[in-house]
Amino acid sequence: ALHLAQAEDGKGLDDFQKVYNAIAEKLRDEDEFDGYIGYGPNLVRLSWHVSGTFDKNDNSGGSFGGTYRFKKEADDPANKGLQNAARFLEPIAKKFPWISHGDLYTLAGVTALQEMQGPKIPWRPGRVDADEKDAPENGRLPDASKDGNYVRHYFGRFGFSDQEIVALLGAHCLGKTHLENSGYEGPWGAATNTFTNEFFVNLLNENWKLEKNDAGNEQYNSNKGYMMLPTDYGLIQDGKFKKYVEKYAKDQDAFFEDFKSAYVKLLENGIDFSKLGKAYVFKTLDEQDS
């Protein structure tokens, strides 16, 4: 059965906006991280990795139990590099001890996306901390060395359509790959901390060369210093995915709208929110600077 959302008692929009603001202010303060990319992309990746363990077949994994806080999940080799995001969030968790870990990890991704000029992401609280025994086993996160068919099959476990899969991967407009984390090296130059549709524009416009990187893994590099993972490149090798890449490369608003919907679905998979009111939409710091 789905996990029933139980919001932190007595907490409302203002309380969660305070958590949002604390994360957003810390993002602004600690802007030097990772060559001045900042923590935003890393927080978005954490929110995806804590949700990406979900399996609709037995409703295991997913963001509900906040089980990333246990070594069993945090030490998954696929999570290498996310210790930075976890350390970033420790003082936030101490300042707001009432928020569950699942709510904190997902709210941090929403905050980072909105502060990096992404779409407004409606968010609902109610994830309840589970025990270490409920932490999913390692190996549920995807393998970047594969192709488009693998990507389609992988995301089938969440019930995502081709369109939702392509929209979600648009988050690879953010941050970079780090050889010491994943065995892929991304260029400093092209790394960004602003949410745009450029992942799709680059996929279509650059001439990609498949090369072996210093870790011996194959990746696609362009002469402008951009890179793509084999799974990224699979989106233009596969005709059914490619038409959505073209749609989003042409229309950033359509990308923002579809990313928002798919990202909410990713973060809420496996949870029954029907007992809660409507989702919260948080103001950015800029919108509160009055």
Ligand X SMILES: Nc1cccc2nccn12
Cα–Cα separations (whole angstroms), residue 232 to 112, 149, 204: 22, 12, 11
Return the SS3 of 157.
Answer: coil
Q: How many chain residues interact with ligand X (CB under 6 A)?
A: 10
Is 175 an interacting residue with respect to ligand X (CB under 6 A)?
A: yes
Q: What is the x/- site pattern for ligand X, positions 118-157, by CB under 6 A?
A: ----------------------------------------
Report the residue from 50, 121, 168, 227 that binds ligand X according to the rule CB under 6 A: 227
Q: Which two tokens stand for residue 36?
A: 């001045």
Query: Nearest Cα to 76, choosing from 163, 173, 182?
Result: 182
- Largest Cα separation within the chain, whole Å, is 55
Return the SS3 of 125.
Answer: coil
Report the residue from 135, 166, 168, 203 that binds ligand HEM according to the rule CB under 6 A: 168
Is 220 an interacting residue with respect to ligand HEM (CB under 6 A)?
A: no
Under a CB-based contact definition with an 8 Å cutoff, are residues 82 and 109 in contact?
no
> Which secondary structure element, helix H or strand E, spans residue 182, and what is its range?
helix 179-182
Report the residue from 120, 157, 178, 240 that binds ligand HEM according to the rule CB under 6 A: 178
Cα–Cα distance measured from residue 255 to residue 20, given in angstroms and rounded to the nearest whole number: 24
* Residues contacting 253, CB < 8 A, separation 6+: none
**Cβ 238 to ligand HEM shortest distance, Å:** 12
* Residues contacting 250, CB < 8 A, separation 6+: none
Active site amino acids: 49, 188
Considering beta carbons, is residue 42 or 100 the nearer one to ligand X?
42
The helix, strand and coil proportions of the chain, stated in percent and rounded to the nearest 5, come to 50, 5, 40
Using the rule CB under 6 A, give the single segment among 65-73, 89-97, 176-184, 201-209 that binds ligand HEM. 176-184
What is residue 214's DSSP assignment?
T
End-to-end CA distance of the chain: 45
**Cβ 200 to ligand X shortest distance, Å:** 11
Q: How many chain residues interact with ligand HEM (CB under 6 A)?
A: 24
Report the residue from 62, 148, 175, 270 that binds ligand HEM according to the rule CB under 6 A: 175
Is 148 an interacting residue with respect to ligand HEM (CB under 6 A)?
A: no
What is residue 193's DSSP assignment?
S
Is 186 an interacting residue with respect to ligand X (CB under 6 A)?
A: yes
Q: Which does 168 bind (CB under 5 to 8 A by kind): ligand X, ligand HEM, none?
A: ligand HEM
Using the rule CB under 6 A, give the single segment among 44-52, 118-126, 237-245, 280-288 that binds ligand HEM. 44-52
What residue ranges bind ligand HEM (CB under 6 A)?
A: 41-42, 44-45, 48, 81, 142, 144, 151, 168-169, 171-172, 174-178, 181-182, 184, 229, 231, 263
What residue ranges bind ligand X (CB under 6 A)?
A: 172, 174-177, 186, 227-229, 232
